[in-house]
Chains A and B, each alone.
Chain A
């Protein structure tokens, strides 16, 4: 068996998600090959070759891959797919954009968002916002799989010594072009890879009050998240959203502030190691999953918490 993994990278660095996917590949078993696509990516390929467990790195250096356009990346993966038993992607916005195209072009089912490898053809994936876990078995000759990154440990970024080879690019699509991007500016850790996440819900009342969470996040080196209710109310942008329809996080510590705990939110954070809930409604469902609950008005509790973290 051999496994092909599409590497995600930005600004010369491999995104942490790729290291989780490598671990899923190791669990499936077989030779692991990475595909690095982008413009001027020799440095990324060098880093990819050092990831423990990787046998080969293929590099397609071409400006057509700069912006992760799905048409172009899927065409490239298909060009080099022959002979592989599995093709893995991270279940990130970028990975989800490409994985189903690759599956359809190979005429096989895509297997989204796996959280467990039970065998080389059998996987567990959450359905219904994580309210049920489906065990699925694939009889397709090539398994095309999306990997939920929070369910697999990171592979070691150092220690490997894979061979690196340049491969041909595929034709770029004339139908789609990149226009621009607005990325959120933050010095703090990224939501899906942060060790601590502090999230606010509708109880925060408005966007300005999120500065209280920023203050605590600063002290804990945490990322700030939000419930869908807070996003829908316009308090914070959508990239803050934790939940079934947003991001799935599993940090060491998740602090839910003014979040009631709707099913769809729990689906995005219930695998966190330690959950803290601060809510003035003692009946809030969030307390049923919290390790530590504090029944309090968040406008009293947050300043107190901020002060306590200084001591």
Chain B
């Protein structure tokens, strides 16, 4: 019997409300001590990532969020039988408990910012051209020309990064005021200035949203994508790896689920 896992919850009680998961099977809680793994039975591993399946997984996790603290489990996570599941729960119990306590009453919010990279670079080049003293004076040999071109590019890139750091720092000051934790990625592409997730306590959600609205008005030439509240996909920290869960079993537990989020996000726009 294959069990498809949706999340780990801070309760060992059965789920009273009927909820259907993948393949239309009922979801239920398999308790271990005072926590539980919410699963449904599934006939075969999910090979293809379809929008419908991702949304179904996400819907179950978010339904659980209404009543419990949830450690969301990565889409496509399967385990073979109840005994293996309980073994995994035993192995991870301390980690799960710590995470459940840390994430209680907190949600994840995503913020992405696109900036006009071409314009920013153009301005940097203009400024550097004005500052002739910073230019490298070398002879005209091919290797000198090579070094000069590389140095000019290095200066532009360095300034570009410095500007990115500056903007991100300002935005982060506003967001961090209302966030318990954060994960920030800078310049994943030249245009994608910021790709961040913030963990926000339930009662600070409106403050956080206000901070986002405030930042949006600061630069009209930047583009923003705000999403949430999400289950805390990016904030589950496991201190140990279990040998029970291998790739061949199609089990990869509690990793980042950006793809799920992206698909869900895209569908909702």
A binds B: no
